[in-house]
Structure 1
């Protein structure tokens, strides 16, 4: 390991859906069918075939209603299960796709990145306003995964305030071409928040979707700067 001495809230949609006037529900069908029976001409009653056809339609409607009800119940169970599993992330250390670092007072923060080819690398750390905080010449690194720890100090060796920072890896191969670099954040989950029934894991105030999480494990021992 190399030692280095904005939350968008999704807007939910309303759960209430206006019922279209031209769509009949199960209760509407039953009401209409009973009204037909009540108001039919005793001298010219409803044909048995017509009645059977309407009952068959009702049976199909009832089955569809039950299927939709069961699917809705399964969806609710799945959402509840996702919520319970997500809450289990609190306090755990995750590795997630991203380029952010969460710096806590008196502690170092960590990240990692992957190179497709050997390259000369420089790491640049900036604050939330994009202002340069620290630049580090990482020399020549081989292809593969590399991790680092930043002690929170700037180029003047002054301790930076706690908060979110961004790191960028500038990698140049032997041909002088810039290499694509995959970056990851390493940090402890401090809370879970649900937006539109989707869980977001927070490292400090940095949110991550479950799809971004690569691995999870028990937290490592605190690293002092």
Structure 2
């Protein structure tokens, strides 16, 4: 840290060359000009026009009589001003439009927080539980398979697919082709559909995944917001297929309780039905034959 005591003090105008003084003076003039320009650009368009006309008229009045400004130079000065003013106004409108667009995107992204989403994607974070992977099989597919790749794009698991057109749902339990008994290590994996049609041409078939939006992330390089599922997998809003609010835990508990009550009721009904049939059979056997 440099203190004031360690800094040599130089009196103003002493110990400096004439070039340094001129450079300093020029720098001050540039700073002053920039300050005036900044203040001018902050004004409204009408105020800018009035300031410019005052400056322009003052320049015309004080021009060198021996070398007056030509009509062409006057026209160029006026056109340059209006061109700069139009460009400044355009930039201002573009910035306002971008700010408004960003606010709308942020509001839209925030509305997905803590929602369950279905989206097109190929990134899966395996954490030990089975992963559900869906796809829509198009027509004219000759053969297809679902492939799971690791972070290094090395093939881990191959899952056969039906070539019948329509929706398919596959489950990857975390096992690999090399070891069907042991699950792979937790981490990022990728899904890929290898398919070709009856003309032996490769087909691109996207996979459909599920997740819950935990966070929102902004990408400066493309100016887009990402929905983060499992904290680090980003989903673009354009890739969403469906969104729904997750069922509350209270409702899930209530539903389980109702299901348990229904099960107990059915068991009691079966017991009573069996007992009634037994009593009816005993009563029928106890009736004398002559009464029958």
TM-score where L is the length of structure 2: 0.50
Q: What is residue 199 of structure 1 aligned with on the other side?
A: 225
Higher relative contact order (CA 8 A, sep 6+): 1
CA distance in 2, matches of 1:70, 1:201: 29
Mind listing any 5+ residue stretches in structure 2 that lack a counterpart?
A: 1-36, 42-50, 248-292
* Residue 192 of structure 2, aligned match among 168, 184, 199: 168
Residues 1:217 and 2:243 aligned together: yes
SS in 1 for 2:205: strand
Q: Deviations over 1:72-104 (max 9, x none)?
A: 212211112212212323333334333222223
* Residue 151 of structure 1, aligned match among 158, 173, 177: 173
CA distance change for structure 1 residues 185 and 122 in 2, over 3 Å: closer, same or farther? same
Q: What is residue 128 of structure 1 aligned with on the other side?
A: 151
RMSD: 4.1
Structure with bigger gyration radius: 2
CA distance change for structure 1 residues 161 and 190 in 2, over 3 Å: closer, same or farther? farther
CA distance in 1, matches of 2:85, 2:219: 34
Q: Deviations over 1:34-67 (max 9, x none)?
A: 641562589xx99xxx999977986776565444
Counting strand residues as a fraction of each chain, which structure ranks higher?
A: 1
* 8 Å CA contact 1:111, 1:183 repeated in 2: no
Counting helix residues as a fraction of each chain, which structure ranks higher?
A: 2
CA distance in 2, matches of 1:215, 1:85: 15
Residues 1:73 and 2:96 aligned together: yes
TM-score where L is the length of structure 1: 0.62
